[in-house]
């Protein structure tokens, strides 16, 4: 039996290039900076954290499948796979924990092909356009959901 709440944070393709890739859209923080923010917030909230990134759809699917029965919540920035991956959508349907979808930018304010999400229908909340801070908001949202058992409204 695990102690405390275990949260999995998964990051999709190209997020390993944060800080270099289009900083005017994604900000100057690196993925390591975001990991440090998440670790600090998780410790404050009493969570243990598993923070991962992959450029490979199949690896993300495997990690989601392996999370079944092992985690209490999932934060997912599927990046470009948000808009294309039925495989990730189907894997998410296998886990029975709150899922928070996170995006550094707001996809709905960008190209039309980014307006659709295969993750959103399965998410308890979607955090967009908050930059790196969006991950902390997602952890706080998960804390609220896990303590009350229900989704909470997203603050503007």
User: What are the residue numbers of the active site?
Assistant: 26, 103
Q: How far is CA 68 from CA 104, 114, 118, in A?
A: 26, 28, 19
The whole-angstrom separation of Cα 72 and Cα 7 is: 6
DSSP 86-102: HHHHHHHTT--S-EEEE
**Pairing between β-strand 47-53 and β-strand 5-11 as defined by DSSP bridges:** parallel
Bridge partners for 53 per DSSP:
11
User: 53 vs 31, 42, 111, 146, CA distance in Å?
Assistant: 9, 18, 24, 24
């Amino acid at each position: 039996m695990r102690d405390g709440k275990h949260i999995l944070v998964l990051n999709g393709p190209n997020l390993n290039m944060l800080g270099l890739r289009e900083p005017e859209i994604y900000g100057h923080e690196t993925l390591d900076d975001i990991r440090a923010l998440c670790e600090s917030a998780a410790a404050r909230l009493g969570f243990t954290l598993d923070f991962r990134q992959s450029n490979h759809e199949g690896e993300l699917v495997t990690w989601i499948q392996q999370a079944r029965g092992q985690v209490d919540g999932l934060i997912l920035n599927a990046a470009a796979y948000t808009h294309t991956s039925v495989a990730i959508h189907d894997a998410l349907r296998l886990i029975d924990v709150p899922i928070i979808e996170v995006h550094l930018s707001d996809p709905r304010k960008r190209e039309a092909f980014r307006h659709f999400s295969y993750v959103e229908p399965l998410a308890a909340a979607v955090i967009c356009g908050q930059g790196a801070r969006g991950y902390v908001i997602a952890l706080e949202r998960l804390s609220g959901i896990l303590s009350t058992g229900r989704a909470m409204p997203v603050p503007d």
